Copies of this chain bind each other. A is one copy, B any other.
Amino acid sequence: MGKTIVIVGLGLIGGSLAKALRGFEDCTILGVDVSQPTLRYALEQGIVDRAESDPVKALAEGDVVYLCLHPQGIVDFMAEHQDHFRPGAMITDVCGVKGAILEGARALPETVSFCGGHPMAGTEFSGIQHALKNMFQGAHYILTPNEQTAPEHLELLERAARYVGCADVVRTTPEQHDAIIAYTSQMMHIIAVAVCDDPSLFQYQGFEGDSFRGCTRVAALDVSLWTQLFSMNAKALGTALEQLEENIRQYRQTIQSGDLTALSGKLAFSSARKRQMNRLEQASGAVGRDG
């Protein structure tokens, strides 16, 4: 018999992880959630092997624990349950900020291993009913190991990431992760909501194309989750947004100046950078989703 994997929080990501981890190294998947309907759904749909509403009971069995709550929920959970993890347990999380999580993980005893994680996957929906087995297909899986991380824990998380279909596993520091994610993910969400705040939005219905759909898809976001993610990474996100505001202003001023040579030069520069980025990404084989 393999290990018992406890998934705490059967939402979009927790539920997708449960589906995708099915069959991984003969493990048993034990789902934990505060919602009885969610636990029932997870059992009925065969998303988990077993369901448990009491985290203390579940943690007593957990060889591997994935914390799939909202960021503040993860921090609170680790503080509240620091003495309930099984000695030797390997604990990880899946959330989109890492500094605040690693800070919270200091509450954990030395008898357990912790490694921060962030599968760059998601959709604009939430809840287990939107969970997808192939959610992580082609996505990047970021890990932020530190002195709290046992080597065998890191190896197991890498095998699990490959198993659920990730294109690669990227190791970095929490600081680096948060600075980069401020740009590649959080800023995209701010752009999407800022675009939707245009006073005339609804007059534009009938004129949207794929560029509008692609840019604004994630604006239909989970308010409570993203309030936490943005505010827990306010400094890096603020810096990224200031840079973006400046880049947009420069484009606007060039367009307003009527200098076609300058505009053409700027577009050539930017579009070449995007093509280069596409080549790098194609070489890596990554094609995942990102919520």
When distances are taken between beta carbons in the complex, the residues of chain B under 8 Å from A183 are 198, 200, 204
Measured between beta carbons, the chain B residues less than 8 angstroms from A288 are: 209-210
Shortest 5 CB-CB distances between A and B: which pairs? Answer: A209-B290, A193-B270, A219-B274, A214-B214, A188-B211
Rounded to whole Å, the gap between the CB of A9 and the closest CB of chain B is: 20
Chain B: which residue is nearest A203 at the CB level?
Answer: B180
A201 and B277 CA atoms in complex are apart in Å by: 8
Q: Mark A residues whose CB is within 8 Å of B.
A: 120-122, 139-140, 142, 168, 170, 177, 180-181, 183-185, 187-221, 223-224, 226-227, 230-231, 234, 237-238, 240-245, 247-252, 255-256, 258, 260, 263-264, 266-271, 273-278, 280-281, 284, 286, 288-291
B238-A255 in contact (CB<8A): yes
The contact sample of 14 A-B pairs, CB cut-off 8 A, is A121-B209, A122-B209, A140-B209, A184-B207, A185-B211, A191-B215, A209-B289, A209-B291, A211-B290, A212-B290, A214-B214, A219-B274, A220-B274, A227-B263
B194, B251, B258: the one contacting A247 at CB < 8 Å is B194
**Given A193-B251, A277-B205, A281-B205, also A223-B268 (CB < 8 A):** yes
Q: Determine how close the nearest CB of chain B comes to the CB of A238; give it in whole angstroms.
A: 5
Q: Do A273 and B201 touch across chains, with their CB atoms under 8 A apart? A: yes
Q: How far is the CA of A230 from the CA of B258 in the complex (A)?
A: 10
Assembled-state Cα–Cα distance A240/B208 (Å): 15
User: Which residues of chain B come closer than 8 Å to A278, judged between CB atoms?
Assistant: 220
Contact assessment for A120 and B224 in the assembled complex, using a CB-CB cutoff below 8 Å = no
> For residue A221, which residues in chain B have a CB less than 8 angstroms away from its CB?
267, 271
The CA of A286 and the CA of B223, in the complex, are separated in Å by 27
Complex Cα distance, B194 from A269, in Å, reads 11
A185 touches B198 (CB 8 A): no
CA distance A251 to B221 in the complex (A): 15
Is the CB–CB distance between A231 and B255 below 8 Å?
Answer: yes
Which residues of B lie under 8 Å from residue A139 when comparing CB positions?
209
Q: For residue A247, which residues in chain B have a CB less than 8 angstroms away from its CB?
A: 194-195, 197-198
| A189 in contact with B208 given A231-B260, A252-B245 (CB within 8 Å) | no
Query: A244 contacts B205, CB within 8 Å?
Result: no
Are A192 and B211 in touch, CB under 8 angstroms?
yes
Q: Which residues of B contact A217 (CB under 8 A)?
A: 211, 214
Q: Give the residues in chain B near A184, CB-CB below 8 Å.
A: 204, 207-209, 211-212
In the complex, which residues of chain B have a beta carbon less than 8 angstroms from the beta carbon of A170? Answer: 206-207
Min C-beta distance of A205 to chain B, whole Å:
5
On whether the beta carbons of A190 and B121 are closer than 8 Å, the reply is no
Judging by beta carbons under 8 Å apart, are B142 and A207 in contact?
yes
The answer, among B142, B212, B260, for a CB contact under 8 Å with A185, is B212
